[in-house]
Amino acid sequence: MKHGLGIPDSEFVRGDIPMTKQEIRILTLAKAKIGSADTVIDIGAGTGSLSIEAALLAEQGRVIAIEREPEGFDLIKVNATKFKAANVEAVLGAAPEALEGLPAADVIMIGGSGGKLPEILRCADKLLKPGGRLIVTAVTVETLSTTLNIMRQRSEYSVEACCIQVTRIQQVGASNMFKALNPIYIIACSKKG
């Protein structure tokens, strides 16, 4: 079955690992501008939902999904198989150490940092090709602030950020109720070519 952008959340195998929700994946991938032959690194990949959708866009490319939780690592492999994303390579490990020896990337996405965001951003900068995109999704003010403070000091990057608040409408009996998802900040950094 062929999927377009925005696979429904319910189609992913989840477990207890956090997952980037459909609306946020769509906007994150739009900011990432993934090409069909791109090399993508997804740091803090969780269930692999973003990695899978990135892999479907980079069909001749490669996606390296880094996850420090063994359950998440297993879920990435299960979901990659389910969606026939053979170009996803799951790596069990924590960044920045797990970035050692990885190839240069066109896109790097950071969804989890384990408290090591400055070091991860430093390593990501070294791996990111000129013209590449670095996308950070933040659920905390600290991640947003740290990313903006570090990346805005680097003259070789243009930086834009936005806050996304998604509210879904859920049917409750004969009524429709608002169900808000947590707000997410997306920081998109483009490296000059």
Q: What is the pLDDT of residues 52-71, one digit of tens each?
A: 999 999 999 999 999 999 99
Q: How many domains does the chain fold into?
A: 1
Phi, psi for residue 72 in degrees, rounded to 5: -65, -45
133 Cβ partners below 8 Å, 6+ apart? 31, 32, 33, 106, 107, 108, 188, 189, 190, 191
Answer yes or no: is 170 within a domain: yes
Over residues 108-160, the pLDDT tens digits come to: 999 988 899 999 999 999 999 999 999 999 999 999 999 999 999 999 999 99
CATH number at residue 130: 3.40.50.150
Domain contains 1: no
- Asked if residue 149 is part of any domain, the answer here is yes
Shortest CA distance to 79 belongs to which of 42, 52, 40? 52
Average pLDDT value for residue range 22-31: 96
Domain that holds residue 28: 9-191
